[in-house]
Structure 1
Amino acid sequence: MTAARRLRIVVIAPLRFPIRRPHAGGLESAVWGEVAALRRRGHDVTFIAPTGSDFLDEDGPFRLPPLDWPAGAVPTDRTWPDSYHTRNAPALGRALDEIAADPSRYDVISNHCLHPLPLQRAASLGVPMVTTLHTPVDHDFVTAHRAAAGAGSAFLSVSDHTRREWAAAGVRSRLLPNGVDPATWQAGPGGGGIVWFGRIVPEKAPHIAVAVARRLGMPLTLAGRIGDAAYAEQAVLPEIGGDIRYAGELSPDELASLVGRSSLALATPAWAEPFGLVAPEALLCGTPVVGFAVGGVPEVAAGTVGMELVTAGDVDAMATSARGLLRRGEEPGYRAAVRESAVRRFSLDARIASLEAVLGELAAGAVDETALTA
């Protein structure tokens, strides 16, 4: 697509959290960044997202209800209230009805929703759709895609690891890694302690960061939303005190400032992370990263200055690698090289330019969706 072409794009958000700052997680951050960047570049973006999200222009079928947890229930990032099925999914269906009622108003759909309904409806919407695969294989997605005979859908994957996983399940996709906005994640001076940031949930394993910091004898700041209260109360919050600090949930600007003032960031996923957005975010601040070699994380580290990986769960190896990166981070020009490398590989503008090309091809009918699917 040429830079001058203006597209009418529908972006479908995940249903769990409003898409606003501070972001509930990496997925929400990625979707927020996509909508903001597409609008900056002159595209007409219609957003389907939960109430409370940014970019929702008016009341109507595209403003979806928030999750409604029953009294006494403890919300988690892994479970859903019954209302998700009786209230939220039907509201998504009505939003899709609105598109199908007059598809001539739209050129293309960028789908990030983790509910299978858009895939089930893809063939009948009258608008080509590309779905970004942010997660491990979801069998409800695969079933929905097969039920639609693959019609109307193309796919992008955030990492080659994710692409290969989904391909094995019969869903083929193009690789398009996540991007980070250098204007938000600005270069910082370093010189402080260690930082860990992300959702406070078992699969992110911040308790391992605490163990590493204690091995190193350095202060650690944890930052992020508590997504699993039971885990936080059992494994993380009792460790807070002294050199271990919990900064809570921060805005992107506040978080970037904290990361930029830190000497090192730790990434401790206890699952096969499909991408791992925290590493590029830290690297754009010039802050080196030690992480676990799982999922798509090695792809982030490959060819990147300032990121080293160790075997998942190996606290001693992470501490050893951290010592080396801490020394290197004190070398003149090192943090600038870390940022330069990250900007080159993970700039949001570069990602959006590639996404524009895909959306433009789909809108023009220049891509046979079946060539991207199985």
Structure 2
Amino acid sequence: MKSTLLFVFFIFSFSAISQTQSSKREIREVRLSGSGYALGLQHGKLLKKEIGELVVKMKKNTADNLHKDADKAIKEFFDYAQFTDDIKKYTPELYEEVKGIADGSGQSFNDIMLFNLLDEFWVYIDAISNHHCSGIGVPSVNGSVGYIAQNMDIESYTDGYQILIRLERTDKRPEQFILTHPGAIGFNGMNEAGIGACMNTIMQLKASNKGLPVAFIVRRILNSTDKNDLLNFIQTVPHASGQNYLIGIQGEVYDFEASANKVVRFDPKNPNRTVYHTNHPIVNDDVKEWAKRFDPTSATKPINSNSYIRLAAVQNRVMASPTLNDVLIKETLRSKDDKENPVCRAPKNGGFTFASVIMTLTGTPNLQVTAGPPDESEYKRFDFK
């Protein structure tokens, strides 16, 4: 009996240790330099193995979800997608960067470009369940610290591939931290001037098969240090996908809901001036036909749906606290106030919290990030040179 109990205890202990070890992910810092094709080539060569693995996983995920051959589905998407002209017009060096990644990794250009058209592919297949990002903006008031933060939720097959690119400064751009996975030019990030950008997909807003895709908009924002340039760009560039952009410019925070036809600023006019957003339109009424119930002017908005529940959770926590700091933000991003619709998502079929980021935009700008859900990993701080 004693030996049996000892054996059971050993099995239980081994299982518990294995689970604990598997939850301790580490964000990998990757330092890159150069620009355009040379930057992409460096990226592709350095992360060739990981990119190859992700291409295989991406195609399996695509085939499983669409119930069709992945290569055929990708070809059909690129027959629809007409983004090249706008990418070359507004961000030509990023188009060359994608080419460099493809060549450096030995993968096809379309497979690598697909990594960089994540939202646009979701729009194409109407994959409304894959994204559950939650964002928070805390402006600097009377000398307080300014932050923007986000749980970045994407497909579960990307787990284990979280990287933070430290992009070195050049004469034409500031030093940057870019959250992404191998093969992708960026999901969100910030630069040394205290400018950061976080994104939330708004699938209900009208999209287009033309315009500038989200990843390229993100990198264009991070390349700039000029407030007026940034605000003009985000409000005038043609947008390919419905998206919410939470932009921190040192002590100021701006939030814009962008669709293919209009860009509308969201400002909840809170006494503490905070901003928060999830995955439905709050002020932009340029919605798709199937999403009329999500129109901000609708009297029958689906307030019991996932995005509304998460927004309420974030709002309640941010508005209830007298102290707005990174401790509160971490507690909010780790929260699971509604078990079925948590702000922090564990890995499972479909999607999960790929990473959680907190960008400190005033004082000494820095970024804190987790690999995976923030309730499973500690935030790691990265400082600029």
After TM superposition, the score normalised by the length of structure 1 is: 0.27
After TM superposition, the score normalised by the length of structure 2 is: 0.27
